[in-house]
Amino acid sequence: MLSRRHSASAAEREIRLAVTGSLPGCLANREANLTLLILENLLNNAIQATPRGKCVELSAQPDDGQVIFRVSDEGAGLPSHVRERLFSPVRSTKEGGSGIGLTICRQLALHIGASLDLESSTVNGTVFRVRVPLLQAVSSSPEPARIPTAG
| Long-range CB pairs of 136-145, under 8 A, 24+ apart, other chains included | 136/65, 138/26, 141/28, 142/28, 142/29, 142/30, 143/28, 143/29, 144/26, 144/27, 144/28, 144/29, 145/26, 145/27, 145/28, 145/29, 145/32, 145/33
Boundaries of every domain in the chain: 2-145
Instruction: Write out pLDDT tens, residues 91-123.
Output: 555 565 556 899 999 999 999 999 999 999 999
Instruction: Write out pLDDT tens, residues 7-16.
Output: 888 888 899 9
Q: Is 44 exposed, middle or buried (CB count within 10 Å of its CB: 0-12, 13-18, 19+)?
A: middle
With a cut of 70, say whether residue 143 has pLDDT above it. no
What phi and psi, each to the nearest 5 degrees, are found at residue 86? -60, -40
Instruction: Write out pLDDT tens, residues 17-43.
Output: 999 987 767 788 889 999 999 999 999
CB contact at 8 A, 129 and 68: yes
Q: How far apart are CA 150 and CA 140, in angstroms?
A: 28
CATH 2.40.50.100 fits 2-145, yes or no: no
